[in-house]
Chains A and B, each alone.
Chain A
């Protein structure tokens, strides 16, 4: 019964991963990261249900909180970069290689 949830979780994770790798727009990349995090959450909740314990659900909450904090900081960085460089492409933000 829980197999469907796990397959969905794997699919969402794969979509998110591919999005991170192929998209240039930082906002979209960011959304894909969120997708991957939520795919993990789904897997955690599924396993919690399957094993009859609350551990997975608790970890899912932690992940949400971390994701919320990450969104705040990540968006702030993206907006700042966009303001100074007029670009939201992750390929343009490559100055640190020098």
Chain B
């Protein structure tokens, strides 16, 4: 097969694709009704939220079916919405193509399941309506992000998901830790956003357009240096949103939010927006080897860092968050390889969306049963009391470690093979990351579901209600089957090729390649090691001190300490200096001036005695002096 070029965009109206704006509008209306309606909507708020998410999914599914009806070369459909600032973005529109529709199906599909799950999870929360309003707001913003046909609208969605993420991380804002975590996520994301904004400025200065069609079709016209600059700045934006090194520090703290939020925003969808940005801007990155190299290095570094952090966490959600970082590292690595990796990046993104959401929701189910305990050292032996949660979690676990024939096996193996062809070093580091994944995920599963009960005296774990377990079951079906469906026969790569292009030679799936076997072996070793340490052996109730390596991993590779030393402390010094200068310098000057004027006025005031006769005397004296002076001058 020839190297597939990116197809041009066909204008479209009518049908489900023409109504693609409904996908965004429905959840937005839901959010508006729930937020403006206030307590009046408390009774049905959660149902409206679910309804809007499901309706959005239905539109996405119909649009997907309609898209499949076109020939592959015509599967990029532009839907124009309204005229905007001429010269900047002439028309704001939506772009429905294989890439964006894949995201739409993931966001609305997994999003709907998580909405349903949240009915049960948030059942006892007095602010459940507000929670659903924010969830709907998130879905709307995320869909705008992936459906936009220009960088400006993408940026609006980009900020929208940032806002929703902030609101949802800090949903329990009465907890200081949650409020701090929300602010931290917001600030770190702003750093990335500055990168994205400057990238947009540079794009506009170079191409005089912000639409994808106007920029990406002409990416080859720009100089190598400009493309590298744009690519690196886009990468900064992607790093912020996707928690890649060096902007990774917010994701672990973001676990302060309710668990469905961690599943939807901080595992399945929002954190993958960076991968979307890189893949969507593919022609820019393909024009510059430097930017691609940096992308792959960031990906590999993050996949290892996330995996190492995951090994040391006792908090079940933080261990999963480390794992999310690591898996997105895989996606970024694949996205940096170029057209050969795009399909694997997005395929892994989709399967990861399923199995990671599955595991996060499973973790939420466990927490729900254990009075919101998150310390895995106080779990143990839960597989007997929570059979459905255990079974679905096990599926997600097997999928993420790449157990043969499950989703993660196909997609992650694809990434490793692609990276291996690109550069052996990157490939083997990715294999090593897979081995560590095998260890930390096994550790998590053994500590939670196997071994002896280490529960608190007050804990009475029970299986969660059906409204929570049914989404788990549906997600685990995706975790089992989706990978094979997407990867075998390069089905997904061919489907995506009109949107992102495809390599000259479609890869073939080798079940017994050397890297594949090495991955399996390392994963098996990691899992066995985890069984020895945490399955067969007794897990101590308090974490042992461990070596300096353990501390290194527990402290998130000193990421926070680094940020603190490099940015926070100097920032505080700067503010202190500014405050000092303001108090002593600026205020001193202003206050001193005022005090001197006040003091001299006080002295001058004494002249006013209030005695009419003394005023009269001064008038007379003055007049006499004037008359005298006149005589003197007149006589000269």
Contacts and interface: CB of A to CB of B under 8 A. Distances in A.
Interface in B590-609: 605, 608-609
B613 interface: yes
A29 B613 CA distance: 9
Contacts of B616: 20-21
Contact of B609 (A17, A21, A22, A97): A97
A96 B608 CA distance: 9
Given A17-B620, A21-B620, A95 B610 contact: yes
A20 B609 contact: no
A91 B605 CA distance: 18
Interface residues of B, number: 10
B617 interface: yes
B611 A20 contact: no
A67 B285 CA distance: 95
A7 B616 CA distance: 23
A91 B620 contact: no
Contacts of A93: 610, 612
B300 to A, nearest CB: 81
A29 B616 CA distance: 11
A90 B617 CA distance: 14
Contacts of A95: 610
Contacts of A21: 613, 616-617, 620
Nearest to B607: A97
A17 B610 CA distance: 19
A3 interface: no
Contact of A20 (B605, B610, B613): B613
Nearest to A26: B612
A94 interface: yes
Interface string A60-98: 000000000000000000000000000000110111110
A97 B610 CA distance: 5
B610 A94 contact: yes
B465 to A, nearest CB: 79
Contacts of B611: 90-91, 94
B613 A90 contact: yes
B598 to A, nearest CB: 16
Contacts of B605: 97
B86 to A, nearest CB: 67
B209 to A, nearest CB: 72
Contacts of B608: 96-97
Contacts of B612: 29, 90-91, 93-94
Nearest to A96: B610
Contacts of A17: 620
Interface in A12-61: 17, 20-22, 24, 29
Interface in B185-219: none
A73 to B, nearest CB: 16
Contacts of B620: 17, 21
Nearest to A91: B611
Contacts of A96: 608, 610
Nearest to A24: B613
Nearest to A17: B620
Contacts of B617: 21
A97 B608 CA distance: 6
Chain A CB within 10 A, most for which of B605, B608, B613: B613
B483 to A, nearest CB: 90
A37 B620 CA distance: 15
Interface of B: 605, 608-613, 616-617, 620
10 contacts: A21-B613, A21-B617, A22-B613, A29-B612, A29-B613, A91-B613, A94-B610, A96-B608, A96-B610, A97-B610
Given A21-B616, A22-B613, A97-B608, 8 more contacts: A21-B613, A21-B620, A24-B613, A90-B612, A90-B613, A91-B612, A96-B608, A97-B605
